[in-house]
Structure 1
Amino acid sequence: MSSNIYRNLLIEKIGKLSDDFNRSETIFRDQEDKIFHPGEFGQYRERAVEELLKLCIPQNFGITNGFIITQDNRKSTQCDLIIYDKQSCPKLVDSSHTHFIPVEAVIAIGEVKSQIRSRSEMETILDKMARNKALKHLRNSTRTTRKIYAPDEDNGLPFDSQYFRFDAIFSFVICKSFTEMPESGFNYCADVDIADYHNFIASLDVGHCAYCCNPSWEMFRVTHNYHYPQTRRELHNQEFKAPIDDEVPLAIGLLVSALYNHCKMATLVEFDPVEYISDNVVR
């Protein structure tokens, strides 16, 4: 039996998100079907998604847009959504109100789109997310403030975001619709590590993409709608699921559940401002 209060709040936010997706197409497209103010177009949708996700993540995590930065002077491309640990680091904002989040604090990233019209467009989005996600390939000596034990990974070992799923950034796409997923799944460039593949693709209209987990090393039934691309470096198959008839689209319900659980389980990394400020750190 579901909670009427929580469910109805979620339905309200999903309805607003759907309306805002439709309204943004009307407001920001001209008579030639071209977007005439892409910045405002994107922010309009992102705000609606942010309101939805605020219902679904613990309050000690923040949501913003902006850039991920690292202590060795690398920077991500702009991220539509960054979910970060508010208690572990500052949110850096410049004079133009651009937000910069140290990678140590980043828990999840998301891309917000209206209609993804082709396989190549989707794969461009996924490749961008993967390269941003790879910024958290930190050294094994990285200090953590929380690391929850997962028996199937034996992750009491040092930090390793390419091996342990809760050390890695959770990445997702949320959109109104997307083109049909190829039978073998969406492709990545050869230099993208499997740990940096997307976790979840959710749409309001056409369904979602996750994974089918059937690890050869474990004797249990196949797990569908699995939210991690690999376990112990074993790649899982991408899987598409069509929508079901419900006021809460299955894609959205699974996404918010997966995000909540990842936030609760994610490894938290210690942020040291000295490492960002000085090249001559004395230990």
Structure 2
Amino acid sequence: MASNVYRELLIQNINKLIQHYESSESIFRDNNNKMYHSGEFGEYREYAVEELLSLCLPQNFGVTRGFIITRDNLISTQCDLIIYDKGSCPRLVDSSYKKFIPVEAVVAIGEVKSQIRTSLEMSEILDKMARNKALKSLSSTTRITKKVYAPDEDNGRSFDSSYFRHDAIFSFVICKSFSPMPENGFDYSEDIDMSNKHNFIASLNSGHCSYFASPTWSLGYGTHNYHYPHTKREAHEQEFKAPIQDEVPLAIGLLVSALYNHCKVATLVDFDPVEYIATNIRR
């Protein structure tokens, strides 16, 4: 039995997102059907997705667009969506209103696209996202402020985003449609670690991609629609699911559920301003 209130609010926001996709494409195309002001077109879509996700996330998490920074002076490429723990760090904004989020607070990142027409285009998007996700490869001595125990990983030890799924950033793509997934899944560059691969690909029209977790670790049975690319360094196969007709598209319903659950169990680590500010202080 579903909640009518929650379901209707979700349907309203999904319909608003669909309208944003459709109206933005007409607003930002000229008489020759060529796209102009592509930056504003992207922002138009991103605002609609932000609004949808803000409805579905725990209230202590924020959604913004911008850049991830680290204490080692690394900076991500621009992220369409950054989901972060509002209580653990500042949101830094420069004079041009660019936003910067310390990696310690980041729990998820997303890319918002319209139509992804080829598997090569998808692979390029996933590669970019994986390199941003890799910025949370923090030291094992990183100070942990919250960790939810996962018995199948025995993750009560030190921080390790390459091994423990809740330590890593959750990454996703949301789009209007995407090209068919190749038989062996979307490709990554050879230097991309399995832990930094995407968690979920959701579309309004084409279905979704997640993973199939083999039964070797999951209590003797396989798990479909699994949201993590590996468990204990055991890689899971990418899996495509066709859309199911409903007012709440299956892909969107699964994505918001997966994001909510990841936010609830994501490992939170300590943000220390001194490590970002000082260049000559030794602890």
TM range (shorter): over 0.9
Partner of 2:53: 53
Partner of 2:9: 9
What secondary structure does 1:82 align onto?
strand
Question: Over residues 188-216 of structure 1, what are the superposed CA-to-partner deviations in whole Å (9 max), with x where a residue is unaligned?
Answer: 00000000000000000110000000142
Paired letter, 2:21: F
Check conservation: 2:112, 2:173, Cα contact below 8 A.
yes
What secondary structure does 2:81 align onto?
strand
Check conservation: 1:215, 1:234, Cα contact below 8 A.
no
Query: How is 1:137-156 mapped onto 2 (pairs within 5 angstroms)?
Result: 137-156=137-156
Query: How is 1:221-260 mapped onto 2 (pairs within 5 angstroms)?
Result: 221-260=221-260
- Structure 2: distance between partners of 1:218 and 1:39: 44
Partner of 2:169: 169
- Structure 2: distance between partners of 1:134 and 1:260: 21
Percent identical across equivalent pairs? 70
Paired letter, 2:244: I
- Structure 1: distance between partners of 2:165 and 2:10: 27
| Count of residues in Structure 1 that have an aligned counterpart in Structure 2 | 283
C-alpha deviation, 1:35, in angstroms: 1.8
- Structure 1: distance between partners of 2:56 and 2:212: 24
Partner of 1:271: 271
Check conservation: 2:113, 2:175, Cα contact below 8 A.
yes
What secondary structure does 1:55 align onto?
helix
- Structure 1: distance between partners of 2:259 and 2:34: 33
Check conservation: 2:152, 2:217, Cα contact below 8 A.
no
- Structure 1: distance between partners of 2:167 and 2:150: 11
- Structure 2: distance between partners of 1:144 and 1:50: 28
Q: Which runs of 5+ in 1 are unaligned?
A: none
Paired letter, 1:234: E
Check conservation: 2:215, 2:221, Cα contact below 8 A.
no
Check conservation: 2:110, 2:172, Cα contact below 8 A.
yes
- Structure 1: distance between partners of 2:133 and 2:188: 14
Check conservation: 2:67, 2:100, Cα contact below 8 A.
yes
Paired letter, 1:235: A
Check conservation: 2:215, 2:223, Cα contact below 8 A.
no
Partner of 1:183: 183
- Structure 2: distance between partners of 1:55 and 1:3: 15
Partner of 2:34: 34
- Structure 1: distance between partners of 2:46 and 2:201: 16
- Structure 2: distance between partners of 1:146 and 1:219: 26
- Structure 2: distance between partners of 1:192 and 1:29: 36
- Structure 2: distance between partners of 1:83 and 1:217: 29
Query: How is 1:65-84 mapped onto 2 (pairs within 5 angstroms)?
Result: 65-84=65-84
Question: Over residues 8-36 of structure 1, what are the superposed CA-to-partner deviations in whole Å (9 max), with x where a residue is unaligned?
Answer: 00000000000100111101122333321
RMSD across aligned positions (CA): 0.9
- Structure 2: distance between partners of 1:217 and 1:61: 31
- Structure 2: distance between partners of 1:34 and 1:181: 27
- Structure 1: distance between partners of 2:265 and 2:219: 24
Q: Which runs of 5+ in 2 are unaligned?
A: none
